[in-house]
Amino acid sequence: MLELYLVRHGQTEASRDGRFCGALDPPLTDVGLRMAELLGSAYADKNLVGLYSSPSRRARDTIAPLAARLGIEPVVDVRLAEISYGEFEGLTPVEARARAPEAFAYWQADSAGRAPPGGETAFQVAARAALAVERVKREHPDGRVLIVSHKATTRILICALLGLDVRLFRERIALPVAAVTRFAIGPRGAMLTRLGDDSHLPAELRELEGT
């Protein structure tokens, strides 16, 4: 059986301020770097056999302390990148609505099946991210593997692994920064064993405002 840990990266200024951030690549804040260190401390003794990461700096910097502790070089897979928000990149929802009210309303009416101008749909993300998970399953049919990715991409993957309608990824699944979701994957499919676990962070970090 494969035990799969899906991790959202640590805090960035964009996540803290609630800004759309897909193709943009802001660094971790000082808080985010602390989250990465705490993740490394908490998961260094899990007997992990593989590490995978989105190519974004914020994901690679989140997995770096754990990788250093384990002596494992993370595999960077572009298919684990965050959903692209196109013309809405860097904006808050309020700013995006004010700048392009018709396009924003069209997207919000079906934010999984429709894309922001120049962006991606959730279905496109599901297709590419699922292939990244299939790669992990081929390379590690058993053991424990940890993946660092992003908020939307991870929520979409959770839906896909559970056979849920991907359209529900925003409305049904919460995922704090640096949180860990765990699946046990065997012959009968994927079983969710932990969702959005941030118990490796102290209370003052878990209770911060923002996403």
- 194-210: pLDDT as tens digits: 999 999 999 999 988 76
- The C-alpha atoms of residue 179 and residue 201 are separated, in whole angstroms, by 9
Q: What is the pLDDT of residues 168-204, one digit of tens each?
A: 999 899 999 999 999 999 999 999 999 999 999 999 9
Percent of the chain predicted with pLDDT > 70: 99
What string of H, E and C letters represents the secondary structure of the chain? CEEEEEEECCCEHHHHHCCCCCCCCCCECHHHHHHHHHHHHHHCCCCEEEEEECCCHHHHHHHHHHHHHHCCCCEECHHHCCCCCHHHCCCCHHHHHHHCHHHHHHHHCCCCCCCCCCCCCHHHHHHHHHHHHHHHHHHCCCEEEEEEECHHHHHHHHHHHHCCCHHHHHHHCCCCCCCEEEEEEECCEEEEEEEEECCCCCHHHHCCCCC
Provide mean pLDDT across the span 153-158: 97
Give pLDDT, residue 135.
97
- Structural tokens at position 64: 């770096």
Q: What is the pLDDT of residues 25-62, one digit of tens each?
A: 999 999 999 999 999 999 999 999 999 999 999 999 99
Which residues are paired to 146 by β-bridges? 5, 51
Q: Is the pLDDT of residue 127 over 80?
A: yes
Catalytic residues: 9, 150
d(CA 196, CA 185): 18
Where do the domains of the chain lie?
A: 2-206
pTM: 0.96
**Homologous superfamily of the 2-206 domain (CATH):** Phosphoglycerate mutase-like (3.40.50.1240)
Computed over every residue of the chain, the mean pLDDT equals 96
